[in-house]
């Protein structure tokens, strides 16, 4: 099963961009890269996903390395409400077993 | 409103007393899944289902059962709960294609004494 590696925690200042890295060196050609976040006392919520090209949505941007062995979630202007645990996961083509890593706990400093 | 609903949200019970946590989704999703979340261990998949009558084990299936008789429901059954099953449980659903996001319920906190 393809797995991901993320830093345990990161800190950022409010209103500054945040770059959250994820390594997935064993990714297969049909695995999608998904990012979720979990705010305190809530269930995970979807943030963004991609396959090969960089992606943007209203919440964040996803930059995928050319060899697909790593990716970076970019929050363009962090707010205190972005403090959460961010999970990078690989979603197999057939949507079978999904493995969440331990994620990165993001702290936002006012 | 599109949602995944879990019940109960909180439950305290005793070892060996069978319990069921229900999960229902109103999005006509084929894929449903159960996770448990424990401090320091993150989210671990218990069971998943690709469609009606199709279920498979995740990473930590021991001590749990599931069923998928209808598309919208995916109950998690603990036949003989033990204290090591004390945890926070999440149900999730999605369409069965890899580029579709999962929608998570609000969680069920189980305490087995």
Residues 26..85 of B with a Cβ closer than 8 Å to A: which? Answer: 31, 33, 35, 40-45, 48, 50, 56, 58-59
Q: What is the pLDDT along chain A (110 residues), one digit of tens a residue?
A: 568 999 999 999 999 999 999 999 989 888 889 999 999 889 999 999 999 999 999 999 999 999 999 999 999 999 999 999 999 998 877 656 677 888 999 999 99
Within 8 A of A99 by CB-CB distance, chain B residues are: 45, 59
Strand partners, A5: A23
Residues 32..91 of A with a Cβ closer than 8 Å to B: which? Answer: 32, 34, 36, 42-46, 49, 51, 87, 91
pLDDT of residue A95: 58
Extract the tokens encoding A49.
């996903």
DSSP E strand boundaries for chain B: 4-7, 10-13, 19-25, 31-38, 42-51, 54-57, 65-66, 76-78, 87-94, 103-104, 108-112
Within 8 A of A98 by CB-CB distance, chain B residues are: 33, 45, 48, 58, 102
Backbone phi and psi for residue A62, each to the nearest 5 degrees, phi listed first: -120, 120
> Comparing C-alpha atoms, which of B63, B67, B105 is closest to residue B83?
B63
Within 8 A of A32 by CB-CB distance, chain B residues are: 98-99
Question: How many Å apart are CA A71 and CA A63, to the nearest integer?
Answer: 6
Strand partners, A35: A48, A88
| Spatial contact of A103 and A85, defined as CB atoms under 8 Å apart | yes
pLDDT of residue A64: 97
Q: What is the pLDDT along chain B (113 residues), one digit of tens a residue?
A: 889 999 999 999 999 999 999 999 999 999 999 999 998 888 899 999 989 999 999 989 999 999 999 999 999 999 999 999 999 999 999 987 667 888 999 999 999 99
SS (H, E, C) A2-30: CCCECCCEEEEECCCCEEEEEECCCCCCC
């Amino acid at each position: 099963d393809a797995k991901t590696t993320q830093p345990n925690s990161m800190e950022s200042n409010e209103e500054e961009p945040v770059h959250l890295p994820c390594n997935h060196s064993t990714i297969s050609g049909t695995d999608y890269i998904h990012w979720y976040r979990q705010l305190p006392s809530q269930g995970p919520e979807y943030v963004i996903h991609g396959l090969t090209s960089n992606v943007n949505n209203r919440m964040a941007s996803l930059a995928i390395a050319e060899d697909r062995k790593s990716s970076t979630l970019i929050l363009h202007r962090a707010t205190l409400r972005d403090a959460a645990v961010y999970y990078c996961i690989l979603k197999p083509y057939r949507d079978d077993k999904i493995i969440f890593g331990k994620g990165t706990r993001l702290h936002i400093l006012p | 409103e599109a949602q995944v609903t879990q019940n109960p949200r909180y439950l305290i019970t005793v070892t060996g007393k069978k319990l069921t946590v229900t999960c229902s989704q109103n999005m006509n999703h084929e894929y449903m899944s159960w996770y448990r979340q424990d401090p320091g261990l993150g989210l671990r998949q218990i069971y998943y289902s690709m469609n009606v009558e199709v279920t498979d084990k995740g990473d930590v299936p021991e001590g749990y059962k599931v069923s998928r008789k209808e598309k919208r429901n995916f109950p998690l059954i603990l036949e003989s709960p033990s204290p090591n099953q004390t945890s926070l449980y999440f149900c999730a659903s999605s369409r069965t294609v890899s580029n579709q996001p999962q929608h998570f319920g609000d969680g069920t906190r189980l305490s087995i004494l």
